Amino acid sequence: MSFASEFQSLPLGALVRRSLGASTRAARQALDRASRSLEDFGSLISPAAAAFLEELCRQSQQVTQQRFGKVIRLFAPLYLSNECINNCKYCGFSRDNAILRVTLSPDDVRREARALVAQGFHNILLVSGEHPKFVSTGYLAECVCVVREHVPSVSLEVGPMETEQYRPIVQAGADGLVVYQETYDCETYAEVHTSGPKRDFDWRLETPERAHAAGFRRLGIGALYGLSDWRLEALGVAAHAAYLLRHCWKAQLTISVPRLRPCAGDFEPRTHMTDRELVQLVCAFRLIFPDVGLVLSTREPASLRGGLIPLGITLMSAGSHTEPGGYTGAGKEKLHHTERGRIVELGASEWANGAPDLHATGQFAIADNRSPREVSEVIRRLGYEPVWKDWEGVLCS
């Protein structure tokens, strides 16, 4: 049975209500248990558990150091294309957004990869909008080959594919696939995904299983907090993670905790998750999933990222750009403007007036603009070791 089938019978609404109504005693019992259920997780993220946040943080820190040591793995996203055929209200790459777009050539990708290696990175995440015309299986496999010439660990965050489409990409050297469900609230999902293949909730939900069948050794999941009630999203992610740990056990699993950031289209978050609630969630994820990697991106500000380092995070991005060509300016000569999905070439006057400053539109605004070196220095000051290379990937390759 796929997770999509299992999800249909998951009493998500009841689990949220139970979490919201959890007593102080239930929260305390969930904290004290050595092995925790999904219901216990609901108690750990409950309003009642907020009173035990200090204890939650202490336990999370202890478990993280026991399982992962005092290390933080660093990675960088490398955006290949911001072309997309989906209309997603919350995304800067949404098809109907009037933005500057470009798809990098393999040579452009090589320039970007070399720039990241020069900054110290050996773990790169290739990211792209979903557009088969520009971002085909063959194109992705070629980009993976190019990047693998320079780094030992390459993962992808791209549009969902069939298992057989993933295989050439795995054979090219990709070892990880990240796919966020965005929201586990089916009604909200339908409201914010207005057109394109991404409207298929179940197809996206089953993507990690198809990726595992294709041979990916690392899987990443998560929700985008700000689309629906954060506890509903967290319980959906937890149920999904528990399923993948049972059925896709050959792969390592990571969970990301991204919150919505400003982007083209000016979408406003539908719900709010405080910094304190994000801390509570990170710690709860660590206690229910002791061996799962927890990922924190540059969507969060520097001060919060520093505070979360000792509390359960194991993987962080740094110095990120969310636009194709962001590290070197590669691909600038191919920039074009789109209006409701139609390509409009940039005119001579537009180049003359602003050519030096023109660049592809990013997916969202970064909150932590520090350089990778600055981030690594903070990690060291906190008593942790920044790790630039995914040694697991090197040893398994």
Q: Which two tokens stand for residue 312?
A: 């359960």
Bridge pairing between strands 293-296 and 315-317: parallel
Give CA 355 to chain center in angstroms: 32
Q: Which two tokens stand for residue 42?
A: 């609901």
C-alpha span between 107 and 247 (Å, rounded): 38
C-alpha span between 287 and 57 (Å, rounded): 10
Q: Which two tokens stand for residue 54?
A: 């200090």
Model pLDDT, residue 347 = 61
- Do 97 and 344 form a contact (C-beta atoms < 8 A)? no
Model pLDDT, residue 339 = 82
pTM as predicted: 0.95
Model pLDDT, residue 389 = 72
DSSP H stretches of helix in the chain: 3-8, 12-20, 24-32, 38-44, 53-68, 106-118, 137-148, 163-171, 186-192, 201-205, 207-214, 230-247, 275-288, 302-308, 348-354, 372-381, 391-396
Task: List the pLDDT tens digit at each of the 397 positions of the chain.
Answer: 899 999 999 999 999 999 999 999 999 999 999 999 999 999 999 999 999 999 999 999 999 999 999 999 999 999 999 999 999 999 999 999 999 999 999 999 999 999 999 999 999 999 999 999 999 999 999 999 999 999 999 999 999 999 999 999 999 999 999 999 999 999 999 999 999 999 999 999 999 999 999 999 999 999 999 999 999 999 999 999 999 999 999 999 999 999 999 998 889 999 999 999 999 999 999 999 999 999 999 999 999 999 999 999 999 999 999 999 999 999 999 999 988 878 876 664 454 444 557 899 999 999 999 999 999 999 999 999 999 975 444 434 4
Cβ neighbour number for residue 388 with a 10 Å cutoff: 19
